Amino acid sequence: MESLSLNIQKDDWKKEKHVPVIELKEPAKKGEPINIHLCVGKEIPHPNTPEHHIRWIKLFFQPDGEKFTIHLGTYMFEAHAESIEGPNKGSAKCEPCVHTSVILEKPGTLIALSYCNIHGLWENSLRVDFEN
């Protein structure tokens, strides 16, 4: 049976512009808000046109010792300079980056999944341990 697992691509985000980067700017603490930066194309910008763009990033969390994965959030980038005057003439486009904030009760692994409308699914992960 076919599986999505076979189709999720991985690579080094410094070389491959599709890979979502996950960053924490401060040490994570149990039960306190943790700021998470998610970005596609941080080192090498990805195109952002109606024909080729990053559509979304999803963030998951796998707590240590738990069986089930938790879906934390979805961040959708909907504007890519589309316009009634033609592609790339629109008045707005979004950058495929967000900062969000989560509260974790256990250490574990953050996993980001992103989607390019022509280059498919890409993932990355970041280990989160609490400072004592």
Residue 40 interacts with Fe ion (CB under 5 A): yes or no: no
Classify 4 as helix, strand or coil: helix
104 binds, among Fe ion, its own copies, none (CB under 5 to 8 A by kind): its own copies
Q: Which residue has the tokens 């890979």?
A: 19
**How far is CA 34 from its chain centroid?**
16
Give SS3 for 6: helix
Whole-angstrom Cα distance, residue 54 to residue 122? 11
End-to-end CA distance of the chain: 44
Residue 119 touches Fe ion, criterion: CB under 5 A: yes
CB of 132 to its own copies, least distance (A): 18
Q: Is position 18 annotated as part of the catalytic site?
A: yes
> How many residues make up the chain in this entry?
132
- Residue 92 contact among its own copies, Fe ion, none, beta carbon within 5 to 8 Å by kind: its own copies
Residues that bind its own copies (CB under 8 A): 1-5, 7-8, 10, 33, 50-52, 55, 60-63, 66-79, 82-84, 86-87, 90-95, 97-106, 108-109, 111, 113, 115, 117-121, 123-125, 127
